[in-house]
Amino acid sequence: MVKRALLSSLLAITLATGTARACDTALILAIDVSNSIDSGEYRIQAEGLAEALLDPLVREALVSGQVALTVIQWSGVGNQVVSIPWRRIAADADVLAIAEEARRMQRAIIMSNTAVGDLVRFARTQFAAVPDCARKVIDISGDGDDNAGTLPEAERLLAERDGVTINALAIESLGLSITNYYRLKVITRNGFVMTARGHSTYAETLKEKIRREVAKVMF
């Protein structure tokens, strides 16, 4: 009787393991809170993140991919803060909870310069907590190039060595200077840049960007 019960337990464990879905993507969403971002623009970013996560296509992709997600606020040297720790997304309710956290998220850093390379270095260390995810992606949003810290080009090489993809969302007023900066110095060879025309289009651009990052079919 004990032997039969043990065999039943082992069979149940095997079936559960076989049907469990693996984590497709570990996604770090990094939000710029340097000196160039005022309080209103910060609030637009936090609200925009919540809005992007609530998009039906984004929600479906996050759940189907069993995505692990974390949110970092970043600015200058030594100024990187994990605002939303890693969350495993297994159901629609998980996305709704993260979106609400993002909406209520308070600004973590004020009066600081911009150190993109230091952000990448910090973000790379965060993936140690989610080793089972097949892909590792750093999604950087920002409205300026770096003016402090380590060179982003050097950190990009280390990211590529570790199999990490770096994508960027450039917040531009006029021209494409920030977009070109991210393209030339920050994103990895398999990464991409999207451009938001001011903070007013941030949410819509981020929505499209997350879809592209986590959907099984690339947009």
Strand ranges across the sheet with 25-32: 80-88, 68-74, 25-32, 135-142, 164-172, 193-197
Host domain of residue 36: 22-214
pLDDT value of residue 20: 54
- Is residue 3 one of the residues assigned to a domain? no
What CATH number should be reported for the domain holding residue 200?
3.40.50.410
pLDDT of residue 111: 85
Cβ 171 vs Cβ 198: under 8 Å: yes
**Which among 213, 217, 186 has a CA at the least distance from the CA of 68?**
213
Q: Print burial letters for 62-80: b (CB count within 10 Å at least 16), e (below 16).
A: bbebbbbbbbbbbbbeebb
Residues lower than pLDDT 70 in the chain: 1-21, 216-219
Model pLDDT, residue 214: 87
How many independent structural domains does the chain possess? 1
The verdict on residue 1 lying in a domain is: no
Residue 141 lies in a domain: yes
What pTM did the predictor assign? 0.88
**Per the domain annotation, does 157 fall within a domain?**
yes
Rounded distance between C-alpha atoms, residue 157 and residue 162, angstroms: 9
